[in-house]
Amino acid sequence: MQAARKLSSIGLDNMEVKIISRETIKPSSPTPHHLRIHKLSLLDQIEITESIYIPVILFYSVASGDPRKRSNILKESLSKTLTQFYPFAGRVKDSFSIDCNDEGVSYTEAQVATNVSVVLQDPEIDLLLQLLPNDSLERLPEPTAEQVLVAIQVNFFACGGMAICACVDHVVADGAATATFIKSWAAIACGANYIDHDVIYDCTSVFPPHDLTSFKEKFANEDKHEVPEPQGKIVTKRLLFDGSKITALRNEIGNGPSSYRPSRFEAVSALIWSAMLSTTTKNDRTFSTTTISMNLRNRTNPPMPQQCIGNVYQVKEVESLMEKTINLSILAGKIHETIRKVDDDHVKKLGAGVGAYINLLRSKVKNNKFLFVSWCRFPFYETDFGWGKPIWFATALRINRVVFFLDTRDGEGIEAWITLTLEEMAKFEQDPGVLAYSFSKLSK
């Protein structure tokens, strides 16, 4: 029996997503016995408590040929890909390991009763959430034999276009690892017989696992008293910064007292941070401290494999603001210095100090701190399954006071998906800097 889901979005009230089929895709060959247990690093262990899937949605334009053939290509290549990403087809065994038992991943197909161009005109997160598989929206608090680590949904639009949604459990992959998995899947779909890199790397040698039971209990008790619930409804908006606007912003900041030209990420982060500071009163230091998420793979000596799975990132707190006068140059400089200090010595200290790391990680949700997560330069726009590269890609994570940075299709601009309370968003959107450097819709 087919199931239908309504999409509630302006102008799309009558659109339906109708589930066509559901099945489980298993690896095309069994995982060798000596690889059946995949050890979790400290950074992976922490994600077990977070209960988050990483959703990636790749949109493709009208494709010729039989959709059934494209679907078969996707399923067959996914099965082959899982032989090399074998932990993804397993199940969480305990807080220390994944049982690589080849139970497989969830694969759903759906029909969307509109054209893909209609969806892309003004996409909102509530709409995008409806294109994700139902079984990937929330992970159970405790691991079970039925809980998949990867869920796929392929949405076929009326025009022949499609949206491939991949949701990967954060316990086995961060954003970079998710990008590697999807790009590898596409390469095999185009005929590659193997993936020319080592995706399985023993991160426990860098971040040794620990028994986190006492920490889990401690933070559970603290959360009841110290982590305030958002006051009012939270909303997610997309801001677009095209390449020319970012260049102008970088030049403006570069002419300031910091005397350096910031990166795209540093410049846009500084602008958003400045806008958030302007939403609060002088006596309210809510946004005086912020945090950023950083990929650690190329920050060790020697570097870890860029393609390795797992969680190889750190949430790092930016130095608190002490200056009486705050400008974009100061903010960008603080972000730049925070990133610069994360080197090989820092990573080694991080791996050796479980308590310090967990305290820092928890700071991203305590005391109303703001978090910037950049997926820029991840190869999502290179993901060609055989019918061309994506015309757009997005994520669908709504986490209060978190901003996700994604590339625009040309690789020069940035899309910033920001979640705030309704009251905070109303003030944020009226900030002069936000109004000057961003816009809300993709140019035609």
The predicted structure's pLDDT at residue 320:
72
Residue written as token pair 């994506």: 390
Going by C-alpha positions, the residue among 223, 198, 189 that lies closest to residue 365 is 223
Cis before 302? omega within 30: yes
Going by C-alpha positions, the residue among 344, 347, 345, 353 that lies closest to residue 302 is 344
* CA gap 58, 165 in Å, rounded: 6
Residue written as token pair 């060790």: 300
* CA gap 47, 404 in Å, rounded: 18
DSSP string, 187-253: HHHTT-SS-SS-----GGGTS-----HHHHHHHHHHHHHHSPPPSS-EEEEEEEE-HHHHHHHHHHH
The predicted structure's pLDDT at residue 63:
72
Of the residues 170, 210, 336, 407, only one is catalytic, namely: 170
User: Which helix (DSSP H) or strand (DSSP E) does residue 6 occupy?
Assistant: strand 3-6
The predicted structure's pLDDT at residue 277:
87
Of the residues 99, 135, 242, 384, only one is catalytic, namely: 384
Strand 150-157 with 162-169, pairing: antiparallel
* CA gap 95, 209 in Å, rounded: 9
For residue 216, how far is the Cα from the chain centroid? 24
The predicted structure's pLDDT at residue 349:
86
The predicted structure's pLDDT at residue 6:
41
Residue 109's contacts (CB-CB under 8 Å, 6 or more residues apart) are 19, 20, 21, 22, 71, 153, 154, 155, 156
110 close to 155: Cβ distance less than 8 angstroms: yes
* CA gap 164, 10 in Å, rounded: 23
Segment 371-422, tens digit of pLDDT: 999 999 999 999 999 999 999 999 999 998 999 999 999 999 999 999 999 9
* CA gap 70, 136 in Å, rounded: 23
User: Which helix (DSSP H) or strand (DSSP E) does residue 352 occupy?
Assistant: helix 344-352
The predicted structure's pLDDT at residue 46:
85
Phi, psi angle pair for 150, to nearest 5°: -140, 135
* CA gap 319, 311 in Å, rounded: 24
Query: Is residue 225 annotated as part of the catalytic site, yes or no?
Result: no
The predicted structure's pLDDT at residue 360:
57
Q: Which two structure tokens, joined as six digits, stand for 94?
A: 């305990």
User: Which helix (DSSP H) or strand (DSSP E) does residue 403 occupy?
Assistant: strand 402-407
The predicted structure's pLDDT at residue 15:
63
User: Which helix (DSSP H) or strand (DSSP E) does residue 119 occupy?
Assistant: helix 116-121
For residue 25, how far is the Cα from the chain centroid? 23
313 close to 300: Cβ distance less than 8 angstroms: no
β-bridge partners, 21: 109
Residues of the chain with pLDDT under 70: 1-15, 49-51, 135-145, 196, 215-231, 256-259, 281-286, 322-325, 354-368, 440-444
Residue 82: strand, helix, or coil: helix
Domains and CATH numbers, the chain: 3-205 (3.30.559.10), 228-377+398-437 (3.30.559.10)
The predicted structure's pLDDT at residue 3:
43
Max intra-chain CA distance, the chain: 65
Query: Is residue 170 annotated as part of the catalytic site, yes or no?
Result: yes
